[in-house]
Amino acid sequence: MLAEKYAQEIQTILAKYPTDQRRSAVMALIYLAQRDKMFVDRKDMAEIGEILGISATEVASIVGFYSLYYDQPGGRYRLQVCTDLPCALRGAEQFLQELCHRLNIQPGGTTSDGLITVEPVMCLAACDKAPMFQVQSGAGLEYFENQTVESALSLVNQLRADAARRRGRNDND
Amino acid sequence: MTEKPYEYLLLRHRQIPELDNLEIYRQNGGFEAFEKAVKTMQPAQVTEFVKASGLRGRGGAGFPTGLKWAFIDNNNWPHYVTANADESEPGTFKDREIMERNPYQFLEGVALCAYAIQAHHAYIYLRGEFWQIAARLDQHIAALHAAGLLGEKLFGSDYSLQIHTHLGAGAYICGEETAMLESMEGKLGQPRLRPPFPPSFGLYGKPTVVNNVETLTNVPLIIAHGPEWYRTIGTEKSPGPKIFCLSGRVVRPGNYELPLGTTFRELIYEHGGGILEGRPIKAIMAAGASSSLIIANDQALDTPMDYENVPSVGGSLGSASVIVLDDTVSIPWLINKTIHFFKHESCGKCTPCREGTYWMQHLTERVAYGHASQQDVALLYDVASQMRGKCLCALGEFSIEAVISGIDRFRPDFDQTVQAPPVT
């Protein structure tokens, strides 16, 4: 349950808004629900609705509207390459194709270990530093700019190593 | 004798290291303007200063900032300030640099705007991708509270102010001010029917100023140095410095802070180092993906980049996101790119934009990959033309600018890609 797990954080979020406007916290609460598994399920939506006094359907419509929320599981890390006009003028489309080829997936696909989804996204406000991508995980978002396929692949290896280490730690628990 | 180096006013971190440290910012005059305003100026005087400076909104519309503040309805309380940090226009990446490297000047601008309209809560709406920036801003806001520059009874006055960050989650439409307000209220980010405008009916239905990050970052300069000084920079109708985002087929893409009225030629060839591989320049998009395509001839290159002159060469300044295209770029490919963006980002609320971008995408795909006939080009032009003046918000209409100007001004590119019509 989110309300117990993130009690303190939920209070901090709600305190930003007038007491009769709790609904404003919906976006932040969806991020919280996404933190562990990188998607939001029906139960989360119902609980967020309960905390804010809106219906689960209204929460679901917000999840569906915004592109950084997911209602289906994907890779633990989403490597999102900007291929919009300014980046495309500096080789971003070839970069995406080559990176996917090296990872043996199609754009939008997830690596066989289920860890990394590579997908094209719309402009990320880094047009002067293409090729670039962001990595979205439950913990947040990080930008990687002026990339080469090699630098991106070494990041992928690092993410895999981090995940393996975390798995090892959980096994010891 | 060497020329005096340009003294940055907005991108000051380029000359002052660690300006994102509050101590350093204060050592360089930071928060003196806010203190001066709260201690010695009436709120309306702050608005008068901004009005007199001629500052115009840097988010794209170029609306006079002081006038917007003066529209705030004083018979309806509380008032709110919302900073638009949704920066999502393809080709725009200036607000990010400000918030990452010179965040306190921006926050001081937010505080001055709040004082001017007597708002006690200000929100910064950041696009969801600016997650790390939001986390840093939260730390900066905490530092301001610790230093007594935000919070209750500031500088011994009765004035109190809180600033909060609010993260979006990936939606271009939330850069439209009423869609942004809807999103902040926890609803779908879809534009409202206007009027009423935010100064009378904004966040939670209360009078609200919505200003772009760069606009607000100008305000401490105006309060500190006065409107007359501010007007010595830029042109008469477009005063002040501007950050030009240069991208596309240039040698040195990046942000360039220059006075409004600098020519395209100076930006592209002197600052940007010219076109990649020394190729010929073909076209300029001056306002990101929302731009019409300006034919890059000598007349265009010598045009001053300000709100009043760019329209004379068939464009608009917008947020000054200058995307440069060389002779390797096919215009049908380009409009297919921009239409995919607008189709993806259409919020779906109004029919002309929702349906128009859908049908345009089908047509631009055909046109871009050589599967189209002349009739398809004509149909594309027709669909785009029919959208003009009919969308609920400006963003829907932005989608047609490159299509219409592309077909009008670069017809040979289309003739080359379309198939000959079938012989009957």
* B323–A68 C-beta distance less than 8 A: no
Predicted local distance difference test score (pLDDT) of residue A166 = 84
Number of domains in chain A: 2
* A16–B245 C-beta distance less than 8 A: no
Give B164→chain A minimum CA distance, Å.
Answer: 6
Determine contact: B95 vs chain A, CB below 8 A: yes
Predicted local distance difference test score (pLDDT) of residue B110 = 98
The CATH number of the domain covering residues in B241-326: 3.10.20.600
Q: Which of A21, A31, A127 is the closest to B204 by Cβ?
A: A21
Predicted local distance difference test score (pLDDT) of residue B420 = 55
Name the CATH superfamily housing domain B12-230: NADH-ubiquinone oxidoreductase 51kDa subunit (3.40.50.11540)
Mean pLDDT value across residues A46-74: 96
pTM, two decimals, is 0.95
* B167–A128 C-beta distance less than 8 A: no
* A24–B184 C-beta distance less than 8 A: yes
* A89–B247 C-beta distance less than 8 A: yes
A20, A41, A65 - which closes a domain: A65
Q: Which of B132, B170, B183 is the closest to A142 by Cβ?
A: B132
Q: Which of A18, A122, A140 is the closest to B131 by Cβ?
A: A140
Give B163→chain A minimum CA distance, Å.
Answer: 9
Measuring CA to CA, which residue among B362, B344, B363 is closest to residue A121? B344
CA dihedral B413, B418, B420, B424 (to 10 degrees): -140
Residue A70 lies in a domain: no
Contact B291, B323 (CB under 8 A): yes
Chain B partners within 8 Å of A69 (Cβ): 169
- Condensed to tens digits (0 to 9), the pLDDT of residues A95-149 reads 999 999 999 999 999 999 999 999 999 999 999 999 999 999 988 999 999 999 9
CATH number, residue A7: 1.10.10.1590
Predicted local distance difference test score (pLDDT) of residue B5 = 77
Predicted local distance difference test score (pLDDT) of residue B418 = 83
Are residues A47 and A113 located together in one domain of the fold? no
* A128–B245 C-beta distance less than 8 A: yes
Give B222→chain A minimum CA distance, Å.
Answer: 27
Peptide bond into B422 cis (omega under 30): no
Burial B350-373 (b: 16+ CB within 10 A, else e): bebbbebbebbbebbebbbeeebe
Selected residues 203-222 of chain B with any CB under 8 Å from a CB in chain A: 204
Tokens 């401490």 belong to which residue?
B220
Q: Which of B91, B184, B338 is the closest to A127 by Cβ?
A: B91
Give B43→chain A minimum CA distance, Å.
Answer: 24
Are residues A82 and A155 located together in one domain of the fold? yes
A39, A65, A91 - which closes a domain: A65
Determine contact: B166 vs chain A, CB below 8 A: yes
Determine contact: B91 vs chain A, CB below 8 A: yes
Are residues A96 and A157 located together in one domain of the fold? yes
Given this structure, which CATH class describes domain B331-419?
A: mainly alpha
Chain B partners within 8 Å of A23 (Cβ): 185-187
List chain B pLDDT tens, one digit each, 424 residues: 566 778 999 999 999 999 999 999 999 999 999 999 999 999 999 999 999 999 999 998 899 999 999 999 999 999 999 999 999 999 999 999 999 999 999 999 999 999 999 999 999 999 999 999 999 999 999 999 999 999 999 999 999 999 999 999 999 999 999 999 999 999 999 999 999 999 999 999 999 999 999 999 999 999 999 999 999 999 999 999 999 999 999 999 999 999 999 999 999 999 999 999 999 999 999 999 999 999 999 999 999 999 999 999 999 999 999 999 999 999 999 999 999 999 999 999 999 999 999 999 999 999 998 889 999 999 999 999 999 999 999 999 999 999 999 999 999 999 988 865 555 5
Predicted local distance difference test score (pLDDT) of residue B297 = 97
Chain A partners within 8 Å of B123 (Cβ): 16
Size of interface A-B (CB pairs under 8 A): 138
Are residues A43 and A117 located together in one domain of the fold? no
Tokens 């997936």 belong to which residue?
A105
Contact B68, B202 (CB under 8 A): no
Chain A partners within 8 Å of B128 (Cβ): 66, 68, 141
How far apart (Å, rounded) are the C-alpha atoms in residues B7 and B14? 10
Where are the strands (E) in B201-280, listed by range? 208-212, 241-248, 254-259
Are residues A107 and A35 located together in one domain of the fold? no
Chain B partners within 8 Å of A18 (Cβ): 204
Contact B193, B214 (CB under 8 A): no
Are residues A136 and A51 located together in one domain of the fold? no
Contact A137, A77 (CB under 8 A): yes
- Condensed to tens digits (0 to 9), the pLDDT of residues B314-347 reads 999 999 999 999 999 999 999 999 999 999 999 9
How far apart (Å, rounded) are the C-alpha atoms in residues B94 and B246? 10
How far apart (Å, rounded) are the C-alpha atoms in residues B294 and B327? 14
Determine contact: B329 vs chain A, CB below 8 A: yes
* B289–A127 C-beta distance less than 8 A: no
- In sequence order, the β-bridge partners of residue B122 are B81, B163
Predicted local distance difference test score (pLDDT) of residue B6 = 84
Amino acid at B413: D
Determine which of B92, B124, B131 to mutate to test the interface with A (most A C-beta atoms within 10 Å): B131
Predicted local distance difference test score (pLDDT) of residue A172 = 56
Are residues A100 and A49 located together in one domain of the fold? no
Residue A133 lies in a domain: yes
Predicted local distance difference test score (pLDDT) of residue B388 = 95
- In sequence order, the β-bridge partners of residue B285 are B323
Predicted local distance difference test score (pLDDT) of residue B417 = 85
* A122–B90 C-beta distance less than 8 A: yes
How far apart (Å, rounded) are the C-alpha atoms in residues A27 and B186? 7
